[in-house]
Structure 1
Amino acid sequence: MEWTIGWWQISVQRVYPSNAQLSQTYNQAASWWHQHLQLLGYSHAYRELWRSLKNSNILPQNQDKVSICDCGIGTAAFSLAFAQIINPNAHITGVDISSEMLNKAHQKLSQVNVAHRICQSDLNALPFADHTFDAVICAHTLEHLPNPEQGLREIVRVLRPGAPLILVVTQSGLLGWLIQSYWGNRCFNQEELSKLIHEVGLTQLQFVPFTLGLARFTSIACIGFKR
C-alpha cells in the first residue's frame, strides 16, 4: 500500500517472520501447544473433519500402510486425528521448522504406537524425492509462508500422481485477524485459497466445513488431488 502526502510517498509492506523467528516462536510454544489445541476444541474438530471425509468417501479407499507427510506437524494433533479416524497403520512423516514441536510430535505419536519419522525442514525445500507420498496433510502452516504458492508447489512435487492434499488454513475474519496479530500469519478466504490451489495444479477441489468448536469460525479445510 502506498500514499502520497505532499512531497512524501509513504508505503507499507507486509513483513513475515523469518525462519529463525518462526522456529523460535514455536519452540517456545511447544510445551503448552497440544493442551492449547485440546482446550480450544481443535483436536476434536480435526477428528470430526476426518470423520466427515471418511463418511463422504472422498479419500482413496483400500489402502493400508499408506505413507503420509504432515507438513507443519506441530505436536501431531492433525496426524493423531487422522490415525484415530482414518488409518492407524499409516506411516507418518512429520515435517516442521521447530525442533521442540517435532520432539512433542514424536512423543505423542510414540505413545499411541503410530509408525513415524520426524524431519526438521523448511516447507519450501522438502528433503524428499518427487512422488514420495500417498497423501500430504497440512494444518495451519501454509499461512506462515511469505510465498504460499511456492510451498504448495513443493507439496505437490512430493505427492504421487492422483494423491490428495488435505489442507487447513486460517480463515479471514475478525477471529482470523486476531490470530494473525499474535502469530504473524496471513489469512485466506475460500476464493483466494481456491485460486491458489488451482494454480499449483491440484484438481477435484472440495471444501469441507468444520462443524464444531472454534475451528468452525477460524479455519477453512479443503481437499485436492494431484493430476
Structure 2
Amino acid sequence: MTSRRIGSWEVLISRRPLSSADLASRYDAVSGSWERTARRFQLEAAYQEPLLTSQVATVLKQVGPQARILDCGIGNGSLSIALDSILTGPVEYHGIDTSAEMLVQASSTMQHAGLRAHLKQADVLSLPYDDQSFDVVMAAHVLEHLPDPQRALKEMIRVLKPGGMVFVCVTRHSLFGVLVQFRWRTWAITEQQGVAWLHDCQLADVGYQPVYLGSCAGVASTAFWARRPQ
C-alpha cells in the first residue's frame, strides 16, 4: 500500500493479490507455453545451486528411499526435476497446483524427465495432507502470489516432519521483479522478510541465496530454506 498527502487529503493506493480461482484461471491460460517460459529462464539450472547449498539432498539421503517430497504450486515440475538431478537415490514426489492445466504439464514434463509424481489439484493455503507427512516441502514462486504468504508457509510447515526441510523461492526487488509484480500482482519479498518469517515459524538452520534466472531476468529471485527442529 502507498499513500500520498495532497493538502488536507490523504490518498491511499493498495493492490489486491489475485484470488486462488483467478490464479488458477490465469495459469490455465498460460500452461501451454509454460515449458518455453521455464526454458527461457533456465529454471531447472537456476534451482540446482541453492538446492545444493541448502543441503536438502543430505537430509533426503539420511531418510533413504522412503523419503517423501511435496512440491507446492508445482507448475511444470521444474523445481522437482532440479532436485532430482542432484539426488543419488530414489524418493517419492508429490505435487499440488491450483491450475488443472498446469498439473497436466507437470505430469508430462516430469514423465519425460523420468519422474513419477502423485499430483493433486489443491491450494497451498489448505493442503490435503496429514500433519508431519513429508521430509521436504518446497515451493517456487508461489508465496508471493498470495494475500497471506505467512499463512501458506505455516501450512507447508504443518505437513513437514520434524527434522525435515522447507525450501522456497520468491521474487525479489529488481527491475524484472517489477514486471512480474505488474503482470501477476505479486509481492516482492526481501531477504529480511523471508528470514524473519522462517524464524517466526520456529525453524532452525535458516539460510538464503540469490537465484539467477538467466540472462533475460538476472538475479530476480531469492531462495530460502530452513529445518524443522526434531
TM-score (norm 2): 0.89
Kept in 1, the 8 Å contact 2:212–2:219? The answer is no
DSSP 3-state at the match of 2:211: coil
User: Do residues 12 (structure 1) and 7 (structure 2) align?
Assistant: no
Q: Cα offset for 1:208? A: 3.1
Q: What does the per-residue CA deviation read over 1:46-70, in whole Å, with 9 as the maximum and x for residues that have no partner?
A: 233334445x976453322310000
Deviation per CA, 1:105-152: give whole Å up to 9, x if none. 011222333231111111111011100001111111110111011000
Question: Structure 2 CA distance, aligned partners of 1:49 and 1:196?
Answer: 19
Structure 1 window deviating more from structure 2 (86-95 vs 146-155): it is 86-95
Matched, 1:219 2:224: no
Distance in 2, matches of 1:7 and 1:100, equals 50
> Which residue of the partner structure matches residue 111 of structure 1?
112
Mean Cα deviation higher: 198-207 or 148-157: 198-207
Number of aligned residues: 226
Alpha carbons of structure 1 residues 216 and 65: separation in structure 2 relative to 1, 3 Å: farther
Percent identical pairs in the alignment equals 29
Specify the code of the residue in structure 2 equivalent to 1:22: L
Q: Any idea what the Cα deviations from partners look like across 1:151-209, whole Å, max 9, x if unmatched? A: 00100100001100111111112221121111111111111111111112221101134
> Aligned partners of 2:34 and 2:90: how far apart in 1?
25
Matching residue of 2:158: 157
Q: Secondary structure at the match of 2:61?
A: coil
1:79, distance to aligned residue in structure 2 (A): 0.6
1:76 paired to 2:73: no
Q: Alpha carbons of 1:6 and 1:85: their partners in 2 closer, same or farther (altered >3 Å)?
A: same
Task: Mark the runs of 5 or more structure 2 residues left unpaired by the alignment.
Answer: none
Contact 1:69 1:133 (8 Å CA) reproduced: yes
Q: Could you tell me whether the CA contact under 8 Å between 2:141 and 2:170 is conserved in 1?
A: yes
CA distance in 2, matches of 1:98, 1:116: 16
- Asked whether 1:61 is paired with 2:61, we answer yes
In structure 2, the residue matched to 1:136 is 137
Aligned to 1:99: 100
Paired residues of 2:213 and 2:221 also in contact (CA < 8 A): no
- Aligned partner letter, 1:165: V
d(CA) in 2 for partners of 1:189, 1:53: 18
Whether the 8 Å contact between 1:38 and 1:44 is mirrored in structure 2 is: no
Segments of 5+ residues of structure 1 without an aligned counterpart are none
Distance (Å, rounded) in 2 between the aligned partners of 1:87 and 1:116: 17
Rounded to whole Å, the distance in 1 between the matches of 2:192 and 2:40 is 30
Asked if structure 2 preserves the Cα contact closer than 8 Å seen for 1:50 and 1:86, the reply is no
- SS at the partner of 1:68? strand
Of 45-54 and 103-112, deviating more is 45-54
Q: Is the strand fraction higher in 1 or 2?
A: 2
- Call closer, same or farther: CA 1:212–1:40 in 2, change over 3 Å: closer
- Calculate the TM-score normalised by the size of structure 1: 0.90
SS at match of 1:34: helix
